[in-house]
Structure 1
Amino acid sequence: MIVVTTPTGQVGHRLVRHLLAAGSEVKVVVRDATRLEADVRTQVEVVEGAHDDPAVLDAALPGADAVFWLVPPNPAAASAHEHYLGFARAGRAAVRRHDVGHVVGVSSAGHGWAKPAGVLSAAFAMDAELEESGAAYRAVSPPFYLENLLGQLASMRERGTFFLTCAGDRPLATIATRDIAATAAGLLTDLSWTGQEDVPLFGPDRLTPDGMAGVLSEELGRPIRYQRIALADFAAMRRAQGASERVVADAVEMFAAQDEGIYDADWAKAAIAPTSFRTWCREVLKPAF
């Protein structure tokens, strides 16, 4: 039996469908069961609650062969580090209590980065905690999510522009969330692996943001340009939106690490996922646009 956390998220809902198609017995931990798709709800066992709650994990993990672990975002958290560690400590203890053999977590590319990296450093701290559980552990470690661009559809429509903080002429490693789900499903349906490793997972492109703008222009049939936003301007924008100084710092550290190449060393060992940026634009972004 496989336990899936965040089963309604961008990765989790795809993962659940992969596992059901493979004939796996699936139990999900979900805050609100009504958010599950109706056909999925009839095929899985449901435990309602948050997976940083030991009582919820004690209801979900007995008899589990493996757990899929993803920390949900929480913009209201005091800090990314404490948010991730709160979940990870609960998970480590529960996996050990119930003698779960395998855990697959969603982390970040860039393990070994020496500088503070905000949310990415928090993910690395999560990995360290889960590795202490005694289970075999795989940290699926992606770079920049392509789905982040969906939040800029209005800017693309109205101004023909999308924004990031990185240099327009420097390649940015990216990944589609459907490829994260497929990779996690492969690990969870073949539990022959042992030990503890991070698994960098990159999309096949080495596009710069300027190159991404060219593909977007072709796929959307209108000019789209890339505009770099300075980290100081990004921080000011988040403060104006009411974000705390620690939340702003977490985001700024993350984007600074991306700008400085936190993902670059993983190109040499990353598994290459099948979904190209152009395919993702055509099949995901363009319909949403």
Structure 2
Amino acid sequence: MTYMIHGATGAQGAPVVAALAAAGKPVTALTRNADTVVDGARVLAVDYSSTADLTRAYRGAEGVFVHLPVAPEEDRLAFAHNTVAAIREARPARVVFSTSGGLVSTDRDSAESAVSVLAAGLADSGVSHAVIEPRFYLENLLLPNVIAGVREEDVLRYSLPSGFRASWASHLDIADAATVLLERTDITGVVSVGQYPAISGEDLAEAYSTRLGRTVTYEATDPHAFFAPLAPMMGEQATAAIADMYRAVSTQPDHSITAERSAQKLLGVTPRTPSQWLAGVDL
């Protein structure tokens, strides 16, 4: 029996593969290209658009780590339905789903989001599962349009208002939580991963100041202007959806996890502080 890891060559899946392989676990990297080489894992080509592919991959698996790719929401909904259908048919021993920053909702207006569809499908499947629900990724602060401002102007620009507090986490923190949850079958439901108490853009700038030994200030930017440079890579529709999400989040009092459902409380896993994360980043 093996652990199936989606997006095994990407930002979220690769750290999970590395952690499981380091622990001596059998790992299968699920990728779109069968010729891909992944250290510590066998490779299996799987397409989210094929329920049959997913079912074959999941059958007999010890665990499955799932996260939906960046794509138009219509495609993500199809991927979510396919994944749920495959899980119901194949019945792997355990499934851990990372929402990649999306929030699980049962509200009528948002329950048809891909994230909520997949989470609801897991809840109804009868398969042992948990859902990792992060907020924002620290790795977003390494985007070219962000890091250039830090390097050249000592200004950290991001698309959240000044003073706005959010629970940031690293992809490495998601991997820490995922590797625990793949084995901790006693924990189910949503597990939130991120800084608690939540931190502001100014706190992030202070971490950069400490890391670089000079003063870095924070500057809020409009979400659509901020994400526009990513459109050639991510697509216009997906980029616009992300910008809309940031604009909506910015109208809230904060974007914090709760202590009750935190990885700190449920798993005993404490996320890296921005300074700890930056210590391992080549700036």
With the shorter chain as reference, the TM-score category is 0.7 to 0.9
Aligned to 1:6: 7
Mapped contact 1:141–1:198 kept (Cα < 8 A): yes
Contact 2:77 2:117 survives alignment (8 Å): yes
1:5-60 CA distances to partner (integer Å, 9 max, x unpaired)? Answer: 111112211111221233322222111244434x42xxx33211323322322331
User: What residue number does 2:45 align with?
Assistant: 48
Aligned partner letter, 1:27: T
Aligned to 1:26: 27
Look up the match of 2:169.
Answer: 175
Which residue matches 1:254?
A: 245
How far has the Cα of 1:243 moved from its partner? 5.1
Structure 1 residues 262 and 49: CA distance shift in structure 2, 3 A: farther
Q: Deviations over 1:98-155 (max 9, x none)?
A: 12232100014644485978xx954233312333333122110111100001102222
Tell me the secondary structure at the aligned position of residue 266 of structure 1. coil
Structure 1 counterpart of 2:186? 193
5+ residue gaps, structure 1, are none
Task: Confirm whether residue 142 of structure 1 aligns to residue 139 of structure 2.
Answer: no
Q: 1:233: Cα distance to partner?
A: 4.0
Aligned-partner residue type, residue 49 of structure 2: D
In structure 2, do the counterparts of structure 1 residues 6 and 262 end up closer, same or farther at CA, with 3 Å as the change threshold?
Answer: farther
Secondary structure in 2 aligned to 1:179? helix
How many angstroms apart in 2 are the aligned matches of 1:2 and 1:242? Answer: 28
- Which secondary structure state, in structure 1, belongs to the residue aligned with residue 177 of structure 2? helix
Higher relative contact order (CA 8 A, sep 6+): 1
- CA deviation vs aligned residue, 1:221-258 (integer Å, no higher than 9, x gap): 233221111246447767899954x4354123310233
Q: In the aligned structure 2, how far is the partner of 1:239 from the partner of 1:96? A: 35
- Name the CA shift for 1:242/1:22 in 2 (closer, same or farther; >3 Å): closer
The answer to whether the 8 A contact 1:92-1:132 is kept is: no
* CA distance in 2 between partners of 1:248 and 1:14 (Å): 25
Task: Check the 8 A contact 2:63/2:93 in 1, yes or no.
Answer: yes
1:208 matches 2:200: yes
How does 1:1-289 map onto structure 2 within 5 Å?
A: 1-37=2-38, 39-40=39-40, 44-74=41-71, 79-80=72-73, 82-107=74-99, 108=101, 110-112=103-105, 121-151=113-143, 152-190=146-184, 192-193=185-186, 196-204=188-196, 206-231=198-223, 233-234=225-226, 244=236, 246-259=237-250, 260-261=252-253, 263-264=255-256, 266-272=258-264, 273-284=270-281, 287=282, 289=283
Measured in 2, the distance between the counterparts of 1:63 and 1:16 equals: 18
- SS of 1:29 mapped into structure 2: strand
Contact 2:164-2:201 within 8 A present in 1 as well: yes
In 1, are the aligned partners of 2:106 and 2:116 still within 8 Å (CA)? Answer: no
Q: Structure 2 CA distance, aligned partners of 1:10 and 1:235?
A: 18
Distance in 1 (CA, whole Å) between partners of 2:194 and 2:208 is 19
| Whole-Å separation in 2 of the counterparts to 1:238 and 1:53 | 28
Residue in 1 that maps onto 2:267: none
In structure 1, the residue corresponding to 2:218 is in which secondary structure? strand
Distance 2:36 2:197 in 1: 34
